[in-house]
Amino acid sequence: MDEREFLSLADATMSRLEEVIESALDAADVDYDSELQPGGILELTFEDDSKIIINRHAAAREIWVAARAGGFHYRHDGGRWIGTRDGEELFAALSRYISAQAGAPISLQD
């Protein structure tokens, strides 16, 4: 995948993540702030001031996640973003990270 293809795919995924995350957190009545910043960075801030930062990393052709649980990298494979260490799908992993930091069960459906 060349850089242009990656950026198009990653930007679409970031927009979808923003939409799905906001919908799930609003439905769970979680207090949070969300901001999609230039350069493909989605920053979530929770009531306890903890953050989850999701960004696209063009050089590696990956989506990176920084959460209280650690730092994680996801590569596009077969139509899904898959964790480079554990093979977990991005939306499933984010469901766990967000649930832990939001203090409420959150399920992200892509």
In CATH, what number is assigned to the domain containing residue 73? Answer: 3.30.920.10
Beta carbons of 95 and 107 less than 8 angstroms apart:
yes
Encoded amino acid at 24, one letter: A
pLDDT (0 to 100) of residue 110: 60
User: Is the residue at 108 inside a domain?
Assistant: no
Main-chain dihedrals φ then ψ at residue 93, nearest 5 degrees: -65, -45
**Sheet of 51-57, strand order:** 32-37, 41-46, 51-57, 62-67, 70-77, 80-83
The answer to whether residue 107 sits within a structural domain is: no
Q: Is the pTM of this model over 0.85?
A: yes
Q: How many domains does one find in the chain?
A: 1
pLDDT per residue of the chain (110 residues) written in tens, 0 to 9: 899 999 999 999 999 999 999 999 999 999 999 988 888 899 999 999 999 999 999 999 999 999 999 999 999 998 999 999 999 999 999 999 999 999 999 999 76
Which domain range does residue 92 map to? 3-102
14 lies in some domain: yes
